[in-house]
Amino acid sequence: MRKLIGVIGPSEPTEDAKEFAEELGKLIAKEGWVLLTGGKGGVMEYASKGAKEAGGLTVGILPESNKNFANRYVDIAITTGMGEARNIILVNSSDAVVAVTLSAGTLIEIATASKIGKTLLGYKVPEIPGVDLLRVSSPEEAIEILKKSLKE
């Protein structure tokens, strides 16, 4: 079964976060893994763009009940009609999660991933008390850690 890698982050990211997300998406696709995001804009869209450019499969877990809200790089749009509660579905469905910077919604996903024991990586994510998160400084470093983690 193919591995699902969740990539989470703000809908209004910095330029640095956009670049990181896009490169991470490419590398996820090159590994043959499936990219799983919230299916909207920002980090989600840039990661999906990178994965698509590398020939990967992208899945978006949407908060709405309408697939038309997905970004243009989503191959499979899963509509939930659950609003932000869709974050729990995204994290639970992922084999590992990479947070690309931080927002309120991303914080919910990070807390959920930590609570249920998912492999959780973070790029430019500050220290969060009680959260077990491995910090990475590049998409390549994230992929190397994911490779090791997914073999276990």
DSSP secondary-structure letter at 32?
Answer: T
Exposure class string for 37-70: b at 16+ Cβ within 10 A, else e: bbbbebbbbbbbbbbbebebbbbbbbbbeeeebb
Alpha carbon of residue 38 to chain centroid:
8
The domain spanning residue 26 has which CATH number?
3.40.50.450
- H or E stretch covering 89: helix 86-93
Is residue 126, in this structure, part of any structural domain at all? yes
Q: Which domain holds residue 20?
A: 4-146
Taking only the tens place, the pLDDT of each residue in 112-124 is 999 999 999 999 9
Taking only the tens place, the pLDDT of each residue in 75-125 is 999 999 999 999 999 999 999 999 999 999 999 999 999 999 999 999 999
Is residue 151, in this structure, part of any structural domain at all? no
Q: What's this model's pTM, rounded to 2 decimal places?
A: 0.97
Instruction: Give the total number of structural domains in the chain.
Output: 1
Q: Are 28 and 51 in contact (CB under 8 A)?
A: yes
